Amino acid sequence: MATFIVLLGPPGVGKGTQARILSETKKLAHISSGDLFRENIKNQTELGKVVKSYLDKGELVPDDVTIAMIRDRLFRPDCGAGAILDGFPRTPAQADALENMLKEFKGEVNAVPYITAAENILVERASGRWTCRAHGHIYHEKFNPPKQTGVCDVDGSEVYQREDDKVETVTKRIRVYIEQTMPLVEYYRKAGKLIEIDGTQAVEDVTKALLGALNK
């Protein structure tokens, strides 16, 4: 049966960094709602035009638009074995929609690692982040700099700072997370799926903790 892992946690905690590693290790597709939105904005699609102002302001994209995009992504062939969901669901309505979609795979959310860190760490991580233009590879100017300044190690493309990583917008995103996404912590705890992971550790140690918990 397919395996679906939802990575839950505040902006900048390291979901994207860990999702990429887990997706390679576990041979599961990586679905990042934020990356999908940014790709649509970059390509100036209709969806990109609709969502740009939400991302710029650090607000959530409406549920119906987000759910339709994820549904479309989940039904692509590379999700046959399952997926790591990074940044979706982010509201109770999205969590309910996900449950229904996964029934069509005769699957369910198997585990929800919840990665946490204090707000000052989140702001430091997001505001020092550099993202690769071509494929979204993630760097940090202090904690994980590319070998050559300004250039992605993996594909040689330019790295840039996300528009929503300005300190004011990161702070806004954290508020939005607390109001709209935190209820999912209890939702998945009640379902017996939540696994708490200390996100303040180094990247390798967070990975070890995640793999240890998921392989149990």
Q: Are strands 129-132 and 159-160 parallel, antiparallel or unpaired?
A: antiparallel
Q: Which two tokens stand for residue 57?
A: 């302001």
Reply yes or no on whether 15 is catalytic. Answer: yes
Smaller CB separation from ligand AP5, 4 or 164? 164
Binding residues among 36-65 for ligand AP5 as defined by CB under 6 A: 37, 54-55, 58-61
Rounded Cα gap, residues 133 and 99, in angstroms: 32
Does residue number 206 form part of the binding site for ligand AP5 (CB under 6 A)?
yes
Q: How many CA atoms lie within 13 A of 139 on its CB side?
A: 22
To the nearest whole angstrom, how small is the minimum distance from the Cβ of residue 13 to ligand AP5? 5
Smaller CB separation from Mg ion, 91 or 131? 131
**Residues 33 and 86 sit within 8 Å (Cβ to Cβ):** yes
To the nearest whole angstrom, how small is the minimum distance from the Cβ of residue 81 to ligand AP5? 22
List residues near Mg ion by CB under 5 A.
16
Q: What are phi and psi of 5, to 5 degrees?
A: -115, 125
To the nearest whole angstrom, how small is the minimum distance from the Cβ of residue 104 to Mg ion? 26
Region of 12-20, 98-106, 149-157, 189-197 interacting with ligand AP5 (CB under 6 A): 12-20
Reply yes or no on whether 173 is catalytic. Answer: yes
Question: Taking CB within 5 to 8 Å according to partner kind, which of Mg ion, ligand AP5, none is near residue 48?
Answer: none
Q: Which of 52, 92, 105, 143 binds ligand AP5 (CB under 6 A)?
A: 143
**Residues 3 and 31 sit within 8 Å (Cβ to Cβ):** no
**What amino acid is encoded at 31 in this protein?**
I
- Alpha-helical regions (H) of the chain: 15-26, 33-42, 46-57, 63-74, 92-103, 119-127, 167-176, 183-190, 203-214
Reply yes or no on whether 129 is catalytic. Answer: yes
Spot the catalytic one: 20, 90, 125, 193: 90
Rounded Cα gap, residues 138 and 43, in angstroms: 20
> Which residues does the annotation mark as catalytic?
15, 90, 129, 162, 173
